[in-house]
Amino acid sequence: MSTPTQRPTTLNNIGVVMFTVADQDAALDFYTRVLGFEVRGDTRFGENDEYRWLEVAPPGSTARLALNPPMYDEPGGSAIGVETSDLAAEHARLTELGVTGLDPLPTDDTPGVPRLFMLRDPDGNVITVVEA
């Protein structure tokens, strides 16, 4: 068996995940008010400040989520996983907030598979909440 010779990667981290959203202000409200994320960056740029780089993240997270307007397509269609130490408490919190598109809390455990549920943001991006 041969081993391909190639230069090793210099990539070492997933720093930013990007979601396309129809309305950055509405997405900012959802991620900060509903999910409790904090703003990590909100910068206008371009010749006439026509573009906006907006990043949010859960408190303490090193990875960030960029909320970008669609470049070529419709918004939505992306997915991320976020972690919680108390799946039931987070599900109850989101239910109390009236989050739509929230999957039911799992009722059984499957060996080798973490307990999780999914929800969708207003643009249809999927957030998987995993108990870790």
pLDDT at residue 37 in the model? 97
**Looking at the whole model, is its pTM more than 0.75?**
yes
Mapped onto helix, strand or coil, the DSSP state of residue 94 is helix
Residue 106: what residue type? P
Q: What CA dihedral angle connects 4, 9, 12 and 15, to 10 degrees? A: -110
Token readout for 13 is 């981290």
pLDDT at residue 111 in the model? 82
> Could you list the pLDDT tens digit for every one of the 132 residues in the chain?
556 667 777 777 778 999 999 999 999 999 999 999 999 999 998 889 888 999 999 999 999 999 999 877 788 889 999 999 999 999 999 999 999 889 999 888 878 889 999 999 999 999 999 998
pLDDT at residue 106 in the model? 86
pLDDT at residue 107 in the model? 85
Token readout for 81 is 């996983």
CB 48 within 8 A of CB 37: no
Distance CA 90, CA 88 (A): 6
